[in-house]
Amino acid sequence: MRPGSLKDPEIAELFNKHDPEKIFEDLREIGHGSFGAVYYAKCNLTPEIVAIKKMSYMGKQSMEKWQDILKEIRFLRQLNHPNTIEYKGCYLHENTAWLVMEYCVGSASDIIEVHKRPLKE
């Protein structure tokens, strides 16, 4: 099966069917890396501010990228703890997966700076 195909019902149920460009607005890049980029965004359906991780699954190793996206979605869906970022859902748009998560102000380095010592395991 090709990357991005939703013919398998088990894979299709991992993704929201709506167009994310109609649901989220005011996207501003707040980080990036080898996986893609993370954006701050406003949800049009709720008053929420969210973080959206956009990951393309095209180009070199597209099947490997697609498998990594599926693995991450499955992992995020299992998380349910007050001390973890809440996973909101995932959308597909123009060969890119949009992983939508709770927006969290600050970072691990901000916490270290405030406490003036390394984090414990």
- Binding-site residues for ATP sit at 54
Q: Where are the alpha helices (DSSP H) in the chain?
A: 9-12, 20-23, 62-78, 108-115
- Would you list which residues are annotated within the binding site? 54
Beta-ladder partners of 96: 56, 93
Q: Which residue has the tokens 């996986």?
A: 35
State CA 97 to chain mean position distance.
Answer: 8
